Structure 1
């Protein structure tokens, strides 16, 4: 296996979380229960959908338990949501790390 080969593990996990606007990232979601689901509190690369729109991102450890999913401006535009408190449905479908 080369360094560019992605090891893909299937996932089928749903989260619903409000957009947050403080902390280490300007806009993010906190995925409660993610550390238990993924078996780690480290950064994890994933793919799935946000409100039905495909995405790939790195879930970042919060230090206290759940992972944070940083929301880039392009993702906010795609889902039509960017305000703190707006609910977003996350479907994790693949894990790359």
Structure 2
């Protein structure tokens, strides 16, 4: 993996272009003007699933029917962050 920021910008630009050009993607004039980004440290898939189940159980259901507010957003994404210069967590 390259620490060069130009590598990552170009990689992201090409991936975005590829996804915008695939079938089913709305026309480009319908693109979002703004983006709201939630950064939740520790909100992995297992934690989110557990939160949905707990919410469902607290609502008197079996659990799997639970949903979180952002589950209703028209578009969501996940990002996995890795440090390229060490194997541990954030270094201060």
TM-score for both structures, normalised by structure 1: 0.25
**Structure (1 or 2) with the larger CA radius of gyration:** 2
TM-score for both structures, normalised by structure 2: 0.26
The structure whose residues are more often strand, as a share, is: 1
The structure whose residues are more often helix, as a share, is: 2
Greater RCO (Cα-Cα under 8 Å, separation 6 or more): 1
